[in-house]
Amino acid sequence: MKTTEWIKKSSPSGKIRNLVCFSHLRWDFVYQRPQHLLSRCALDCQVTVVEEPVYHSIKVPQWNLAVRENGVVIATPELPNGTSESQVAEMQRQLLNQLFDRFSISDFVAWYYTPMALNFSRHLRPAVTVYDCMDELSAFRGAPLELARLEQELFAKADIVFTGGASLYEAKQKHHSDVHMFPSSIDAGHFGRARNRTDAREPHDQKNIPKQRIGFFGVIDERLDLELLRILADMRPDWQFIMVGPVVKISTEDLPHAQNIHYLGQKSYEQLPNYLAGWDLAMMPFAMNESTRFISPTKTPEYLAAGKPVVSTPIRDVVRTYGSSGLVQIAEDANSFSLAMDVALDQRTPEWLSSVDELLRQNSWDKTWSRMWSLIDERRRRSPKASAIQSVVDVAGSSELGVANV
């Protein structure tokens, strides 16, 4: 497929034709909120996801462009090794101008997951600017010092703000006049496959692990209470603890190791139901710290859609949405977590499953995206803006830039 065709997806007259997303998360990393929402957006307009840069032994900055599901274009800046911090933003700005010029991107929505992208994109003039705040990034390990300041700038620039949960909504609504809460949704059909378990589909790296199994999937990082996991594995040698996901921002040497703890690595979104099918319980052993204060884990409804009882530490949004109704067991320490595992094991009754399904029917990624897009379209019709780059592209600055892997 020619690159010029990627940006020419047809759309009804008067509808926005392009959405350009600025993301701190790699599209091919963990399949989560951005992929769920933007792959649905791509059914109706052209979506381009601008990732953070990578560095190579090249002389001239260039784009690495690739196409993913539903025609989503992944645009990754490739910069020369040794590029100074002061040069990075300017190189990205010139690359961005080149991208808009080459593919005639106009009448677009600017969709931000990271305020840091303002360093090279603040000159754009989108029809609508969206800040989809899915995490409190400033609380993460290694967060840039300027992140809080840039977030305030993004609040001033944004036409509308979405948040990934109730706690984030409460924290952000005082910074913007148009904030909407859109908690984690669910593709119930995808994870519901785990309820129809067949041994033939048991993954090869899990099938020889004994029962009982309590599992976790997701990023393994500073947000997990690794000491809790170590204590539980020691307290309950009769249970096998299965950890599925990449290890990020922490050393593998810091992970607890025991005969009944199994690290299976990162799996694709398509594979997850097959792993879930072989678990007796699912767990969310999150640490109670600043990095988890505002999280609303997407995996909660995914575990439940799979028909798996869940035990979680008292993450605020989990307690309010699932713990207060008894759908998820909440435990504050190792002793209560161990007891809650036994309670949860007896919880999977037809009545419990019926309550789970009733809650899950109230939401889906399809419904969430439809409501989001309606709000965006309303803002565009209510306050139309110029839909081009604010200034003429610097031809001299962009003429030396290239495009790779087109």
Fold match between domain 3-185+365-400 and domain 188-360? yes
Pairwise pLDDT comparison (1 vs 143), residue with the higher score: 143
On the question of pLDDT at 369 being above 70, the answer is: yes
Residue 392: the pLDDT is 34
Residue 4: the pLDDT is 37
On the question of pLDDT at 68 being above 70, the answer is: yes
- Position 1 confidence tier, pLDDT thresholds 50, 70, 90: very low
Q: How confident is the model over 103-125, as a mean pLDDT?
A: 95
Residue 403: the pLDDT is 53
Nearest to 65 by CA among 152, 6, 133: 6
Using CA of residue 164, residue 168, residue 170, residue 174, what is the dihedral sign? negative
Half-sphere exposure at residue 383, Cβ-oriented, CA atoms within 13 angstroms: 9
**Sequence-ordered list of residues with C-beta below 8 angstroms from that of 150, at least 6 positions apart, any chain:** 115, 116, 118, 119
**pLDDT tens track for 173-209:** 999 999 999 998 999 999 999 998 765 578 999 999 9
- Position 390 confidence tier, pLDDT thresholds 50, 70, 90: very low
Pairwise pLDDT comparison (147 vs 141), residue with the higher score: 147
- Position 385 confidence tier, pLDDT thresholds 50, 70, 90: low
Report in angstroms the alpha-carbon separations of 355 from 70, 197, 361, 367: 34, 21, 10, 20
Domain 188-360 has CATH 3.40.50.2000: yes
Residue 14: the pLDDT is 56
Q: How confident is the model over 152-161, as a mean pLDDT?
A: 97
% pLDDT > 90, the chain: 77
**Sequence-ordered list of residues with C-beta below 8 angstroms from that of 65, at least 6 positions apart, any chain:** 3, 6, 73, 74, 75, 76, 403, 404, 405, 406
Residue 184: the pLDDT is 84
CA torsion angle 168 170 174 175 (round to 10) = 10
Strand 329-330: give its sheet, edge to edge: 261-265, 240-244, 213-217, 281-284, 310-312, 329-330
The residues spanned by each domain of the chain are 3-185+365-400, 188-360
On the question of pLDDT at 391 being above 60, the answer is: no
- CATH number for region 3-185+365-400: 3.40.50.2000
Residue 5: the pLDDT is 44
Query: pTM of the entire structure?
Result: 0.87
Nearest to 33 by CA among 45, 24, 44: 24
Residue 406: the pLDDT is 45
**pLDDT tens track for 17-39:** 999 999 999 999 999 999 999 99
Lowest average pLDDT, out of 27-31, 72-76, 133-137, 181-185, goes to 133-137
On the question of pLDDT at 11 being above 80, the answer is: no
**Cβ–Cβ < 8 Å for 137, 143:** yes
Q: How confident is the model over 48-70, as a mean pLDDT?
A: 95
Average pLDDT score over the chain: 89
**pLDDT tens track for 219-259:** 999 999 999 999 999 999 999 999 999 999 899 999 999 99
On the question of pLDDT at 16 being above 90, the answer is: no
Q: Is the peptide bond before 390 cis (omega within 30 degrees of 0)?
A: no
% pLDDT > 70, the chain: 89
Residue 86: the pLDDT is 82
